Amino acid sequence: MNLAKFPRRGYVTNPTPIEYLSNFSKALGGKVNVYVKRDDLLPGCAGGNKTRKLDFCIADALAKGADTIITCGAVQSNHARLTLAWAVHEGLDCHLVLEERVKGSYRPDASGNNFLYILLGVSGISVVPGGSPMLDEMEKVASDLRVKGKKPYIIPGGASNALGALGYVACAQETTEQLFRMGLDIHAIVVPSGSAGTHAGMVTGIYGSSADIPVLGINVSRTKETQEELVYKLVRQTSELAGVNHNIPASAVTCFGDYVGPGYSLPTEGMIEAVKLLARTEAILLDPVYTGKAMAGFIDQVRKGAFPDGSNLLFLHTGGSPALYAYLDTFK
Measured distance CA(139)–CA(288) in Å, rounded: 30
Sign of CA dihedral 276, 278, 280, 281: positive
3-state secondary structure of 314: strand
Q: At what angle do helices 224-242 and 162-182 cross, to 10 degrees?
A: 90
The answer to whether 122 and 97 are in contact (CB under 8 A) is: no
Beta bridge partners of 33: 312
What is the phi/psi pair of residue 258, to 5°? Answer: -95, 5
| Per-residue 3-state assignment (H helix, E strand, C coil) for 216-237 | EEEECCCCHHHHHHHHHHHHHH
3-state secondary structure of 304: coil
The answer to whether 193 and 217 are in contact (CB under 8 A) is: yes
Beta bridge partners of 125: 96
The answer to whether 187 and 307 are in contact (CB under 8 A) is: yes
Measured distance CA(331)–CA(3) in Å, rounded: 42
Which residues are known to be catalytic?
77
The answer to whether 172 and 39 are in contact (CB under 8 A) is: no
**How, if at all, do strands 33-38 and 18-20 pair?**
antiparallel
Exposed, middle or buried: residue 269 (CB in 10 Å: 0-12, 13-18, 19+)? Answer: exposed
Secondary structure letter of residue 251 according to DSSP: G
